[in-house]
Amino acid sequence: MLALISTILAQLAGDGEAGMKAIGAGLGYGLAAIGPGVGIGIVVGNAITAMARQPESAGVARTTMFLGIAFTEALALIGFVVFVLLAFA
Amino acid sequence: MTKPVPQSGEGAPERAVAHDIIRRGLIGGPVLVGVCAGVWGFDGLWSSGYALGLILANFWLAASLITWSVRISPTMLMAGVMGGYFIRLGILTGAYFLVRNTGWFEALPFVITLVLAHIVLLVWETRYVSMSLAYPGLKPQGAAQ
CATH assignment at residue A70:
1.20.20.10
The pLDDT score that the predictor gives to residue A19 is 77
DSSP string across B8-69: SSTT-HHHHHHHHHHHHHHHHHHHHHHHHHHHHHHHHHHHHHHHHHHHHHHHHHHHHHHHHH
- What does the pLDDT profile of chain B (145 residues) look like in tens digits? 445 555 455 678 888 889 999 999 999 999 999 999 999 999 999 999 999 999 999 999 999 999 999 889 888 999 999 999 999 999 999 999 899 888 889 889 999 999 999 999 999 888 887 777 666 666 655 555 5
Residue A2 belongs to a domain: no
Q: What is the mean pLDDT of residues A81-87?
A: 84
Residue A5 belongs to a domain: no
Long-range contacts of B64-72 (CB under 8 A, 24+ apart): B64/B9, B64/B15, B64/B18, B66/A62, B66/A65, B66/A66, B66/A69, B66/B12, B66/B14, B67/B9, B67/B12, B67/B14, B67/B15, B68/B9, B70/A62, B70/B7, B70/B12, B71/B7, B71/B8
Residue A37 belongs to a domain: yes
Tell me the nearest-neighbour CA distance from A31 into chain B, angstroms.
Answer: 13
The pLDDT score that the predictor gives to residue A1 is 53
Helix (H) or strand (E) holding B1: none
Q: How many domains does chain A have?
A: 1
- CB contact (8 A) between residue A70 and residue B118: yes
Residue A29 belongs to a domain: yes
The pLDDT score that the predictor gives to residue B142 is 54
* pLDDT band (50, 70, 90) for residue A47: very high
Residue A8 belongs to a domain: no
Quote the CA–CA distance of B123 and B118 in Å, as a whole number: 9
Residue A30 belongs to a domain: yes
ipTM, two decimals: 0.79
Give the domain range for residue A46.
20-88
Q: What is the mean pLDDT of residues A49-65?
A: 89
CA geometry: angle at B9 spanning B22 and B54, to 5°? 30
| B5 near A CB under 8 A | yes
- CB contact (8 A) between residue A62 and residue B70: yes
Residue A70 belongs to a domain: yes
Residue A50 belongs to a domain: yes
